[in-house]
Amino acid sequence: MQDSKAWSGRFSEPVSELVKKYTASVGFDYRLAEFDIEGSLAHAAMLHRAGVLTADDLAAIRGGMEAIREDIRAGRFEWSLDLEDVHMNIERRLTEKIGDAGKRLHTGRSRNDQVATDIRLWLRHTVDSIVGLLAELQRSLVDLAEPNAATVMPGFTHLQVAQPVTFGHHLLAYVEMLARDAERMGDCRRRINQLPLGAAALAGTTYPIDRAYTAQLLGFDGVCQNSLDAVSDRDFAIEFSAAASLVMVHLSRLSEELVLWMSPRVGFIDIADRFCTGSSIMPQKKNPDVPELVRGKSGRVIGHLMGLLTLMKSQPLAYNKDNQEDKEPLFDTADTLIDTLRIYADMMRGITVRADAMRGAVLQGFATATDLADYLVKKGLPFRDSHEVVALAVRHAEGQGVDLSDLTLGTLQGFCPLIGGDVYTVLTPEGSLAQRDHVGGTAPAQVRTQIARHRARLG
């Protein structure tokens, strides 16, 4: 019995069942079906324009592909492991439907440039979805930041109380990160959006193709300029995975903070019940499972990036079967990132802020010590001397179990006679915030200005 594979004429025996299972990709690349059909229709239109396909062939291909598309969307299409991949499954079904016209569709192309085109079409669509979801998450963060533009909380370095900031300002830091993430995705999209089709197996084709016309039909910005490079490199997929990894790193950092803030020992926030789970043995528990899982899934996405880099590092030109291994990590990266962004945009709307706990934490860590140092500098004391004075004052307050603002004026003047009664305006958290009224500062007025900027940017 003759093997059903497109290349079986070269071989004297069929592929073993074990090899079929090991080498087949249809179990995961079926996800490219819509994009494979889109690319094939554009290729057929180009071949007709070049005089390679007749009008009847083109009409038959279009009708057959539309029927196949409907079958796939309805779940009626039967995928065959014997046919290896999404491309051969669709081509074989097309030929069954329309005869020889289906066999002519593959003129002037190879599965090598076909799959490279399909992946780029799919990834372009995926990037567009991710950019939209990044914008939605930024809006959720801005919505939470706005009523907390003046909510005092401790800013930390080394996880130690450093200086007062506002909760709104803190949230806007993540908005800035996500805005850069969206920019990276946009940059990546420009390099994705180059057409490989026409490179054929590796050397181009002898048929009178018009690659620019195919690119125009498919919405590509241009064509890959070297046929060897077009079919063999996956740097665009690696670049996407790197950009996706950075998004997940940013969300993992936010996740770590949400977990800390929700701890009863900190108590800055509460996360809505629908994003948490309980314990099978401890009835009091409310676990922040979503942020914890996002921390874990960041490792999954970063791992896929490392896998793709390793996949490419030793491949000679041009196409190698190794590249079949690009799809599963790429698909999983996209799925993980999209799911994470969706759930995070919703979860941020379900956060309750405990403002009293935040302000209380500011008062526990001498957060206005730098403000006192700056106050003394403005009175004429060199900063290094000012730093020493305040350090001594902090040591004294710590020994007394009080905040700097609780020390009497006489006690403070004992450390430096330049201190006057106006010092208490800078020793309160609100006074500290108000002094940082410059672009990028944490003063509530500046936070509201940034919120307005982000709203205008995000629409």
* pLDDT, tens digit, 9 for 90 and up, residues 285-295: 899 999 999 99
Number of helices (H), then strands (E), belonging to the chain: the values are 20, 6
| Integer Cα distance of 124 and 427 in angstroms | 53
The answer to whether the beta carbons of residues 131 and 458 sit under 8 Å apart is no
| Integer Cα distance of 50 and 217 in angstroms | 14
* Helix runs in 206-262, H state only: 211-218, 227-232, 235-262
Residues 134-150 have a mean pLDDT of 98
Residue 277's DSSP bridge partners are 287
The structure tokens listed for 418 are: 């330049």
The answer to whether the beta carbons of residues 348 and 379 sit under 8 Å apart is no
pLDDT at residue 1 tops 50: no
Residue 161's DSSP bridge partners are 156
pLDDT of residue 312: 97
Residue 48 a catalytic site member: no
Lowest mean pLDDT among 30-39, 167-176, 273-282, 291-300: 273-282
- Tens digits of per-residue pLDDT, 310-369? 999 999 999 999 999 999 999 999 999 999 999 999 999 999 999 999 999 998 889 999
pLDDT at residue 94 tops 60: yes
DSSP summary character for residue 315: P
Confidence of residue 115 (pLDDT cuts 50, 70, 90): very high
What is the chain's mean pLDDT, rounded?
95
Confidence of residue 145 (pLDDT cuts 50, 70, 90): very high
Q: Give the domains, in start order, of the chain with CATH numbers.
A: 15-107 (1.10.275.10), 112-163+170-205+225-359 (1.20.200.10), 366-458 (1.10.40.30)
pLDDT at residue 126 tops 90: yes
- Tens digits of per-residue pLDDT, 206-253? 999 999 999 999 999 999 999 999 999 999 999 999 999 999 999 999
Residue 4 a catalytic site member: no
pLDDT of residue 2: 41
pTM over 0.85: yes
Three-class secondary structure of residue 287 per DSSP: strand
pLDDT of residue 364: 87
Out of 12, 16, 158, 314, pick the active-site residue: 158
- Tens digits of per-residue pLDDT, 374-406? 999 999 999 999 999 999 999 999 999 999 999
Residues 46-54 have a mean pLDDT of 98
Out of 4, 129, 263, 279, pick the active-site residue: 279
Confidence of residue 272 (pLDDT cuts 50, 70, 90): very high
pLDDT of residue 7: 53
| Integer Cα distance of 405 and 424 in angstroms | 6
pLDDT at residue 17 tops 90: no
Q: Give the number of other Cβ atoms within 10 Å of residue 415's Cβ.
A: 19
Q: What is the three-state SS of 247-309? A: HHHHHHHHHHHHHHHHCCCCCCEEECHHHCECCCCCCCCCECHHHHHHHHHHHHHHHHHHHHH
